[in-house]
Structure 1
Amino acid sequence: MNGQNRKDVTPGLLVDIVLKADQKTGKLTHGTVKDILTKSSTHPHGIKVRLTDGQVGRVQKIHND
């Protein structure tokens, strides 16, 4: 899953996000979703989330482990 649909993203999921500072390079950060920050049901660049460690970014990949 690519993280563009809010219904696919729930707290506790393992995801890869791209931080605002890493958008140009595309570097991904791995973590667990704490909060969902995007209010709309979809977003073309990924749903914005806060990880349990406090980092904020847009979901690029959802891990189904």
Structure 2
Amino acid sequence: MNGTERKNIKPGTRVKVVQKQDQRTGALTEGIVKDLLTKSPVHHRGIKVRLESGIIGRVQEIIG
């Protein structure tokens, strides 16, 4: 699923995010969404979220 649309992501959704420091390498971190930080309905680089682990990143992939 697409991580650029806010409507596809809700708290509790399992996702893969790219953290700011990993944008060059594209390394992804998997986790469960705690909060949505992007207010706009669409963001071309991915909706910014906070995972339950505290990690903040932009959603690249929605799992499952």
- Give the alignment's TM-score, normalised by structure 1: 0.97
* Residue identity (%): 58
Instruction: Give runs of ≥4 in structure 1 deviating > 6 Å.
Output: none
| Aligned residue in 2 for 1:50 | 50
**How big is the alpha-carbon RMSD for the aligned residues of Structure 1 and Structure 2?**
0.4
The SS at the match of 2:41 is: coil
The SS at the match of 2:45 is: coil
Gaps of 5+ in 2: none
- Count of residues in correspondence between the two structures: 64
| Aligned residue in 2 for 1:37 | 37
- Give the alignment's TM-score, normalised by structure 2: 0.98
Gaps of 5+ in 1: none
